[in-house]
A and B are shown apart, each in its own frame.
Chain A
Amino acid sequence: MGNTKYEKLQIDGVDYKTTFTDKWRNRKNWETPDPKLVEAYLPGTIVNVNVKEGQKIRENDLLLVLQAMKMDNKITSPVDGKVKAIHVKKGDQIPKGTVMIELE
Chain B
Amino acid sequence: MGKLTARERIQGIVDEGSFHEYDMFVEHQSKDFGMDKKIFHGDGVIIGTGTIYGEPVAIYAQDFTVAGGSLGLMHARKITKIMDHAMKMRMPIIGINDSGGARIQEGVDSLAGYGEIFLRNTQASGVIPQLSIILGPCAGGAVYSPALTDFVFVVDNISKMFITGPEVVKTVLGEVVTMEELGGARVHAAISGNAHFFAMTEQECFEQIKQLLTFIPWNNQRKARSFPAKPPKPEYKINNILPADPTQPYDVRDIVKAVADDSEFMEVQQDFAPNIVVGFGRIDGETVGFVANQPLVLAGVLDCDSSDKAGRFIRFCDAFNIPIVTFEDMPGYLPGVEQEHMGVIRHGAKVLYAYSEATVPKITVILRKAYGGGYIAMNSRHLKADFMFAWPTAEIAVMGPEGAANIIFKKEITESTNPEETRKQKVAEYREKFANPYVAASKGYIDSVIEPEETRMLLKHSIEISGNKTVMVPQKKHGIPPF
Do A and B originate from a single complex? yes
Q: Which residue of A lies closest to B295 (CB)?
A: A18
- In this complex, which of A18, A43, A96 has the most chain B Cβ atoms within 10 angstroms of its Cβ? A18
A contact residues around B301 at 8 Å (CB): 9, 11
Q: Are B296 and A19 interface neighbours, CB within 8 A?
A: yes
Q: CA–CA, A12 to B301, complex, Å?
A: 12
A27 nearest in chain B by CB position: B338
Contact B299 A9 (CB under 8 A): yes
Q: Quick check: B247 and A21 within 8 Å, CB to CB?
A: no
Q: Are A23 and B305 in contact (CB-based, < 8 A)?
A: yes
Q: Max chain A CB contacts within 10 Å: which of B172, B174, B299, B371?
A: B299
Q: Which residues on B sit within 8 Å (CB–CB) of A23? A: 190-191, 305
Contact of A21 among B246, B249, B274, B400 (CB under 8 A): B274
On whether the beta carbons of B172 and A15 are closer than 8 Å, the reply is no
Are A28 and B338 neighbours in the complex by a CB distance under 8 Å?
A: yes
Encoded as 1 (CB less than 8 Å from any A CB) or 0, chain B from 180 to 193 comes to 00000000001100
Q: Which residues, 51 to 80 on A, are CB-close (under 8 Å) to B?
A: 69
B275 touches A17 (CB 8 A): no
Within A23-39, the residues touching B (CB, 8 Å) are 23-24, 27-28, 30
- The interface residues of chain A lying within 8 Å CB-to-CB of B403 are 12-14
A residues within 8 A CB of B331? 11-12, 14, 16
A93 within 8 A of B: yes
Do the beta carbons of A17 and B248 come within 8 Å of each other? yes
Contacts of A27 in B (CB 8 A): 338
- The residue that B247 contacts in the complex, of A15, A30, A95, with Cβ under 8 A, is A15
Would you call B251 an interface residue if the criterion is a C-beta within 8 Å of the partner chain's C-beta atoms? Answer: yes
Chain A: which residue is nearest B398 at the CB level? A12
Q: Are B298 and A12 in contact (CB under 8 A)?
A: no
List CB contacts (< 8 Å) of B213-263 with chain A: 246-249, 251
B480, CB-defined interface residue at 8 Å: no
Contacting residue for A22 out of B190, B248, B336, CB 8 A: B190
Q: Are A21 and B297 touching (Cβ within 8 A)?
A: yes
Q: Which residues of B have CB within 8 Å of A41?
A: none
Give the residues in chain B near A20, CB-CB below 8 Å: 297-298
> B402 — which chain A residues lie within 8 A by C-beta?
12-14
Residue ID in chain B nearest A68 by CB atoms: B172
Chain B residue at smallest Cβ distance from A94: B174
Q: B366 at interface (Cβ–Cβ under 8 A)?
A: no
- For chain A, the bracket of interface size reads 20 to 34
- Of the candidates B172, B248, B332, which one forms a contact with A11 in the assembled complex, judged by CB atoms under 8 Å apart? B332
**Cβ of B465 under 8 Å from chain A:** no
A-contact bits for B294-330, CB 8 A (1 contact / 0 none): 0111111100010000000000000000000000000
Chain B contacts for A12, CB-based, 8 A: 331-332, 371, 399-400, 402-404
Residue pair A16, B249 in contact (C-beta under 8 Å): yes
Question: Which residues does chain A contribute within 8 Å of B305, judged by CB atoms?
Answer: 23
- Which residues of A have CB within 8 Å of B1? none
What residue of chain B has the Cβ atom nearest to residue A69's Cβ?
Answer: B172
* Bound: A12/B427 CA distance, A: 13
Centre residue among B249, B273, B297, B305 by max chain A CB count within 10 A: B249
Contact A96 B297, CB 8 Å, known A1-B251, A12-B399: no
Q: List residues of chain A with CB within 8 A of the CB of B191.
A: 22-23
Cβ of B406 under 8 Å from chain A? yes
**B297 CB contacts on chain A under 8 angstroms:** 18-21
Q: Which residue of A lies closest to B332 (CB)?
A: A11
Q: A12-B331, A12-B371, A13-B403 are in contact. Are A18 and B274 (CB under 8 A)?
A: no
| Alpha-carbon distance between A17 and B298 when the two chains are bound, in angstroms | 9
Alpha-carbon distance A1/B403, docked complex (angstroms): 30
Chain B residues within 8 Å of A11, by CB: 299, 301, 331-332, 334-335, 400
| B173 interface residue (CB < 8 Å to A) | yes
The answer on a CB contact under 8 Å between B172 and A43 is: yes
Bound together, the chains give a CA A45 to CA B430 distance in angstroms of: 60
Q: Which residues of A contact B338 (CB under 8 A)?
A: 27-28, 30
Q: Are B174 and A43 in contact (CB under 8 A)?
A: yes
Q: In the assembly, what is the distance between CA of A11 and CA of B297, in Å? A: 14
Question: In the complex, what residues of B have CB within 8 A of residue A1's CB?
Answer: 251, 296
Smallest Cβ-Cβ distance to B371: which chain A residue: A12
A95–B171 CA distance with the chains assembled, in angstroms: 11
Q: In whole angstroms, how far apart are the Cα atoms of A16 and B403 in the complex?
A: 13
**Is B432 an interface residue when CB atoms closer than 8 A count as contact?**
no
- In the bound complex, residues from chain A placing their C-beta under 8 Å from that of B332 are 11-12
- Which residues does A use to contact B, with CB under 8 Å? 1, 6, 9, 11-24, 27-28, 30, 43, 69, 93-96
12 intermolecular pairs with C-beta atoms under 8 Å apart: A1-B251, A9-B298, A11-B400, A12-B332, A13-B406, A19-B249, A20-B297, A20-B298, A21-B274, A28-B338, A43-B175, A93-B174
Known: A12-B332, A16-B295, A18-B297. 6 other contacts (CB 8 A): A9-B301, A11-B299, A14-B402, A17-B248, A43-B173, A95-B175
- In order of increasing CB-CB distance, the 10 nearest A-B pairs are A12-B403, A30-B337, A16-B299, A13-B402, A18-B299, A43-B173, A13-B403, A11-B331, A14-B400, A12-B400
